[in-house]
Structure 1
């Protein structure tokens, strides 16, 4: 069955023949293996060109900042999957990555798209960033929606990773309209929303990497790649000293059943009473 357009039968990423493998216009063996680090290769694969020094530093900083964050739900899912199926690293890794949604890790994309919306609003309506940001915050308040990229349940006084990422962006001349917009939102959000709303790492990462030239539509790839490294660490540790079943048991103990009792339970209780 033919579904969708059938007139773009091309890829610009890689090809091979009997004698060579070509990736983004480079010979894999002679020009890439042993000659390029993985961050550069990641950038090259996605964008088709190697990053500048500034872009490399910013991407490296973003990847390091988000790779590991403890026993978050996606990590627990991965570790419990490996405990149940120790032969299935790919299944456990998939379980962890599939758990990266709008609340954990995937929130970077949401924040990035929100920043882009505010910037587009300013441009399309002929307003400055500050005016567009204030209007957007007021609209979020009226709709009782959260401000993407701001606020943190643990780091209420400010996410320590944010200052470092923005410092690197400023120092390397990366900071542009996305970081400007993020800072303006952080300036006005507490007064409009009426509670502390510091910038979180899910706001800093998209602002910094988008200003560095990374495409908005590939934004989710950054936390996905970073968390894959963190998951690899957890899965290796899980294979060495498992805590998957411990977490499962603790969850069972922590969650009380509040559904309907069985007939036998009701009869037993009635007999005691």
Structure 2
């Protein structure tokens, strides 16, 4: 192989993230042996995604969003899928991947969607944030929008995860870690939704999650990736729990409960004897 070809192949896999040589591994220039034991997993995630280590207070905010996203109960689709998949004879990695594959726009993508909306509101015309929020929501509903991602919840009249994350943003704002712009924005959206609907429509964990990541300067598509990283821990826990039950082929309901058949009544096949 010529040197030119070798360099062409090396450049094909060019990366700024990690350098691996004999006896040497470095993440963004930092030796792995220095990171191990001194830098947390969350700080390492930040380093890999952003290129620099975060301030400890920034890392605390990012970790808080991930803790809030780990689990939503065994009936959450991604958790339920992981718990069922493991009983089909697959490995833990397959069970986790099965749950992750259910994290789409409707289940798992709300954080990214809210971040994109927050950035649209931020960049829209005007200086009064409340007026910009009202205009944006008016357009959302005029265009046929029904459910605004990041607000309301099937089970919680007040989402405790959202409240805590917003409190942490307030604390970080007071400490000068973030500006607090997006926390104000989601609260303004909550107030406008409540005014429009005539009932309380509280910000949920996805809305607060998005506010934190926007405050920290993450790009909107990373919201989904960070959510998936966090939820993977919950999927692992449910898969292991289901595995220890010793049940084979766990279905979505107990075996003594059958589904409702709504098709054609029994009929004979024409020409059959």
Same fold, judged at TM 0.5 (above) = yes
Q: Where do residues 209-224 of structure 1 align in structure 2 (5 Å cutoff)? A: 209-224=213-228
Q: Where do residues 146-157 of structure 1 align in structure 2 (5 Å cutoff)? A: 146-156=147-157
Contact 2:112-2:223 at 8 Å conserved across structures: yes
Kindly indicate whether residue 85 of structure 2 is the aligned counterpart of residue 99 of structure 1: no
Structure 1 vs Structure 2 CA RMSD: 2.2
Inter-partner Cα distance in structure 2 for 1:193 and 1:127: 25
Q: Where do residues 133-212 of structure 1 align in structure 2 (5 Å cutoff)? A: 133-145=133-145, 146-156=147-157, 158-173=158-173, 174-212=178-216
From the superposition, tell whether residues 143 and 251 of structure 1 become closer, same or farther in structure 2 (CA, over 3 Å). Answer: farther
- What does residue 245 of structure 2 align with? 241
Inter-partner Cα distance in structure 1 for 2:259 and 2:227: 30
Moved beyond 3 Å, runs of 4+: 242-252
1:68, distance to aligned residue in structure 2 (A): 1.2
Kindly indicate whether residue 20 of structure 2 is the aligned counterpart of residue 16 of structure 1: yes
Deviations 1:8-52 (A, max 9, x none): 8631001211231121111112x2122211111111111111111
Inter-partner Cα distance in structure 2 for 1:207 and 1:97: 23
Inter-partner Cα distance in structure 1 for 2:61 and 2:132: 27
From the superposition, tell whether residues 187 and 251 of structure 1 become closer, same or farther in structure 2 (CA, over 3 Å). Answer: farther
Inter-partner Cα distance in structure 1 for 2:201 and 2:151: 5
Determine which of 23, 32, 35 is the counterpart of 1:32: 35
Aligned positions, number: 253
- SS where residue 257 of structure 2 aligns? helix
The structure richer in helix per residue is 1
- TM-score, with normalisation over the residues of structure 2? 0.85
Q: Where do residues 18-167 of structure 1 align in structure 2 (5 Å cutoff)? A: 18-29=22-33, 31-71=34-74, 72-86=76-90, 88-121=91-124, 125-145=125-145, 146-156=147-157, 158-167=158-167
1:165, distance to aligned residue in structure 2 (A): 0.8
**Structure 1: segments with no counterpart, 5+ residues:** 1-6, 266-273
Contact 1:175-1:208 at 8 Å conserved across structures: no
Inter-partner Cα distance in structure 2 for 1:244 and 1:65: 31
